[in-house]
Amino acid sequence: MVSLLGSRDELLRVIEGAFRADIHVRGNEITVTGSPDESGTVVRLFEELVEVLRSGGELTPDAVERSIAMLRMTSDRPAEVLSLDILSSRGRTIRPKTVNQKRYVDAIDKHTIVFGIGPAGTGKTYLAMAKAVRALQEKRVNRIILTRPAVEAGERLGFLPGTLYEKIDPYLRPLYDALHDMVDPDSIPKLMAAGTIEVAPLAYMRGRALPMGTGVLTPDGWRSIGELEVGDLVIGSNGEPTPVLGVYPQGEKTIYRLFSQDGASVLASEDHLWAVRTRDDANRGKPWRVLQTKDMIGDLRTAHHHKWELPLLSAPVCFPERDVPMDAYALGLLLGDGCITGTTTPSFASNDPELAEALEGALPGIEVRWRSGPDYVLNRVRQPGDSMTIANPVTDVMRRLGLSGSGSSTKFVPEVYLRNTPEIRLAVLQGLLDADGGPVIQDGRTCRIQFSTVSARLRDDVVFLVQSLGGVAYSRTRLAKGRKPGLAGGREVHHRHDAHVLDIRLPEGIEPFRLSRKAEVYRKHGGGRPMRYVDRIEPRGTAECVCIQVAAEDSLYVTEDFLLTHNTLNDAFIILDEAQNSSAEQMKMFLTRLGFNSKIVVTGDVTQVDLPSGTVSGLRVVQEILDGIPDIHFARLSSADVVRHKLVSEIVDAYGRYDATQQAQEPKAIQQRGKRRP
């Protein structure tokens, strides 16, 4: 009864002052006398307050007044509102205190993006923070990201004294204060160091960037990221084209070069995002994590193994189909074991008659004639009446492709074959591997593919073919100098060129060989799974940077050496506070960073915009643009939801009345000024 009525009947006096009914308390009995409506409401009130106490809640004069308002103005039960536990932390429980606050909290549970719009003191940010901490504790998200515009500094934090954290601290202090109320202060630095909690100004949210000259794969080949515009197509992780949704210049950024263990590398900013997973993640079927470049520095090994696996293409890259002048498999065979000098009849050398037959079948009008040993000559099939001056079709095609006269050290795969359909690229690769490659068997391990060439350009082209099909290729060089000479006709022949050796892994379902004996060995032992791990990360100074947003479902796109990266935030609870001070462009940039299994809460008060004159508040515009879209909710709070001093609610109402009066008088003032003009 003391808890119900309050110390010295403080709560009882609040109830008596709110109703026209006589309330008498004797012992544990309460008697209510008055009109049926009034007495019925008082009885319901006491029932609700008792329920709040039973659930562990605490009653205050403010809570009683709000309960009375709920019973009179809504159909919601005060006990359901005041006993909803959001978070219990450090000996206190955080609960909503008004109906609108409960609806706001419920909306956060039900929707992916929630806008909390209302005056200061309504608990918009505090309740969102409590939901974020709860989601992290229950492992529904992996990280919390807190951000707000630093508009008071014009977002030009670089001109302020001190370190970055000293510069941003005043603008993010309200978020820090709320966080310290809910999380053990001693653990916060550790969580921030681990990237579990990130606090940054809005301008830095789009800081996941690549240097301007970084190559990004498009359907037309490689282009610098600095050249891309909204609407351009880039290649996603599924090999399909995906449009660019946004391009955001980043200015000068600290840059690192990330290397994978197969030799691939790309430059990126320290806060650029990477999809990665550990061996345990893969074995347990866990989703990919998202880490910043700086998160992985110094944490690249575990138990003597590479720790962070990078994703590979889930399907071969789909370049547009282009006409080719020669069968792709035949070209691969000739690049591997053919002689195409242009000064003699083209020839082919192989100890596998099966390849000679396949070559003849792929080249109409050509007869592959055995000469001696492994040597074959590619003769034109003459027709009655043909002139002796008609060029050999193979020689003619090689001239058109720029390959005529190429020796073993200068051969290459022409662009029309490199940037073509997966079928064309695979056929070229199969020809090369049947000629100069083969399966390599190791005890207790799956079969890898090995290819060797003395042409550095052909080596790079084969790596491109492999990576564009979703595989990996490890390269090493055997120097000509110091190598044991080979034998030809019983005499020693010294090596004239360095040999480039590739160890290749291709995805399941992609057959590397057509030659029967090689294909049989490969199928028997299996090709294993191609994998790519982060090997090292090295600083590379600073550079002008840009970031892009793409429409791919997983937000991944292909960068240099077919490394996949992206700019969204997965498995995160993201809060944008003071959103009324974000521009329309910033709001779009922020919302399009939404990743999988993430939640965004945007809070702000559209009556307190501090943006420069002429700049439209992104919070005002977004209501018109996104209202009505499923899974996006706009929660609107009012002065009745202010949970600070009572005067705050009255101040908000007073300003609201003043603004309404000013808006009503403005047309009259304009009209009067017009009448005074001569």
- Answer for the pair 290, 570: CB distance below 8 angstroms, yes or no: yes
- Examine residue 317 and state whether it is found in any structural domain, yes or no: no
At residue 160, the pLDDT reads 42
Residue 300 has pLDDT above 80, yes or no: yes
Rounded mean pLDDT, 498-527 = 94
Rounded mean pLDDT, 276-283 = 89
**Token code pair at residue 305:** 């193994």
What's the rounded Cα separation, in Å, for the pair 205 and 176?
A: 17
Residue 261 has pLDDT above 80, yes or no: yes
Write the pLDDT tens digit of every residue in 340-364: 887 788 999 999 999 999 999 999 9
- Examine residue 168 and state whether it is found in any structural domain, yes or no: yes
Write the pLDDT tens digit of every residue in 368-414: 999 998 999 999 887 766 555 577 899 999 999 999 988 889 999 99
Are residues 237 and 152 both part of a single domain?
no
What's the rounded Cα separation, in Å, for the pair 217 and 222?
A: 5
Q: Which position has the higher pLDDT, 445 or 490?
A: 445
What's the rounded Cα separation, in Å, for the pair 459 and 475?
A: 8
CA distances to 475, 484, 500 from 478, in Å: 10, 11, 6
Distance from CA of residue 364 to its chain's centroid?
49
For residue 505, count other CB atoms closer than 10 A to its CB: 23
Residue carrying the six token digits 């000013």: 662
- Answer for the pair 577, 96: CB distance below 8 angstroms, yes or no: no
**Cα angle for residues 16, 17, 20 (degrees, 5° grid):** 70
SS3 assignment, position 610: coil
- Examine residue 491 and state whether it is found in any structural domain, yes or no: yes
- Quickly state the pLDDT bin for 162 (edges 50, 70, 90): very low
Burial of 358 (0-12, 13-18, 19+ CB in 10 A): buried
Residue 607 DSSP symbol: T
Write the pLDDT tens digit of every residue in 588-608: 878 876 766 789 999 999 888
**Token code pair at residue 443:** 């005890």
Task: Choose the weakest-confidence range: 177-181, 220-224, 346-350.
Answer: 177-181
Choosing from 48, 83, 118, the residue where a domain stops is: 83
At residue 61, the pLDDT reads 79
- Examine residue 321 and state whether it is found in any structural domain, yes or no: no
Choosing from 83, 113, 128, the residue where a domain stops is: 83
CA-closest candidate to residue 199, choices 225, 235, 227, 175? 175
Angle separating helix axes 456-468 and 422-436, nearest 10 degrees: 130
What's the rounded Cα separation, in Å, for the pair 434 and 426?
A: 12
At residue 252, the pLDDT reads 86
Are residues 49 and 147 both part of a single domain?
no
Are residues 100 and 194 both part of a single domain?
yes
At residue 161, the pLDDT reads 44
The domain that holds 391 is classified in CATH as 3.10.28.10
The domain that holds 108 is classified in CATH as 3.40.50.300
- Examine residue 36 and state whether it is found in any structural domain, yes or no: yes
Residue 253 has pLDDT above 70, yes or no: yes
What global pTM score does this model have?
Answer: 0.66
Task: Choose the weakest-confidence range: 115-119, 182-186, 466-470.
Answer: 182-186
Are residues 77 and 104 both part of a single domain?
no
Are residues 499 and 619 both part of a single domain?
no
Are residues 487 and 608 both part of a single domain?
no
What's the rounded Cα separation, in Å, for the pair 288 and 82?
A: 39
- Examine residue 318 and state whether it is found in any structural domain, yes or no: no
- Examine residue 320 and state whether it is found in any structural domain, yes or no: no
Residue 238 domain boundaries: 209-312+533-566
Angle separating helix axes 584-591 and 618-626, nearest 10 degrees: 60
- Quickly state the pLDDT bin for 563 (edges 50, 70, 90): very high
Are residues 246 and 272 both part of a single domain?
yes
At residue 541, the pLDDT reads 94
At residue 169, the pLDDT reads 55
- Answer for the pair 81, 50: CB distance below 8 angstroms, yes or no: no
CA-closest candidate to residue 583, choices 604, 569, 598, 599? 604
> Which residues, other chains included, contact 56 with Cβ-Cβ below 8 Å and sequence gap of 6+?
83, 93
SS3 assignment, position 23: strand
Write the pLDDT tens digit of every residue in 269-279: 988 888 889 99
Looking at the structure of the chain, the number of domains it has is 5
- Examine residue 222 and state whether it is found in any structural domain, yes or no: yes
The domain that holds 282 is classified in CATH as 2.170.16.10
CA-closest candidate to residue 181, choices 98, 123, 140, 142? 123
DSSP letters spanning 563-605? -EEE--B-SEEEEE-SGGGSBHHHHHHHHTTB-TT-EEEEEE-
Choosing from 484, 507, 530, the residue where a domain stops is: 530
Are residues 540 and 489 both part of a single domain?
no
Rounded mean pLDDT, 668-675 = 57
Are residues 385 and 514 both part of a single domain?
yes
Write the pLDDT tens digit of every residue in 308-319: 999 999 999 999
The domain that holds 54 is classified in CATH as 3.30.1370.10
Question: Percentage of the chain with pLDDT > 70?
Answer: 88
What residue spans of 363-507 are helical by DSSP H?
393-401, 415-418, 422-436, 456-468
Are residues 6 and 123 both part of a single domain?
no
Are residues 391 and 500 both part of a single domain?
yes
Are residues 215 and 182 both part of a single domain?
no
E strand segments, 422-561: 437-440, 448-453, 472-478, 486-488, 491-493, 499-505, 532-550, 556-558
